[in-house]
Amino acid sequence: MFTKILVGYDGSKGGKRALQRAAVLAREYNARITALWVREPLPRHSDMPGEPEAEAEAAAEYFQERKKEVEDVAAQHGIRIDCEVRRGHPAKTIVNFAREGGYDLIVVGHSDHSELWGRLLGDTADRISDHAHCSVLIVKD
């Protein structure tokens, strides 16, 4: 049914649930799977010398920790999961990455934000489901 699965992964509780569900689907359908971490762009200007470099280093370290988590899930399910990182707005970046890569399923976790917050601003999962070219699975508890 699905041949290429993209999972938005940020290390949150919702992201971890989405990664587990995507891994099960990838194994079941013998599909390729990629975990994508989207980080916000760094500010262009900083008042503190060295701040952009420190932010970039912290982001790289954070990505390595998420990559290790993804590798552990892949080993648990006996599959391979590719890892990618991109900069940009999370929903827009995930939708564009999926379209450009020919993915036929996007899996994301439901936000842990309050219902009011989600209604006011909309959460990433809602935005992805509104704009994606393919099926979207939003994993809830």
pLDDT in tens, 33-86: 999 999 876 555 555 555 567 777 888 888 899 999 999 999 999 999 999 999
At which residue do the structure tokens 């006996």 appear?
78
Going along the chain from its start, the domains and CATH numbers come out as 4-40+50-139 (3.40.50.620)
- Residue 4, judged by CB atoms within 10 A of its CB (0-12, 13-18, 19+), counts as middle
Global confidence as pTM: 0.85
- Token pair, residue 49, equals 């010398």
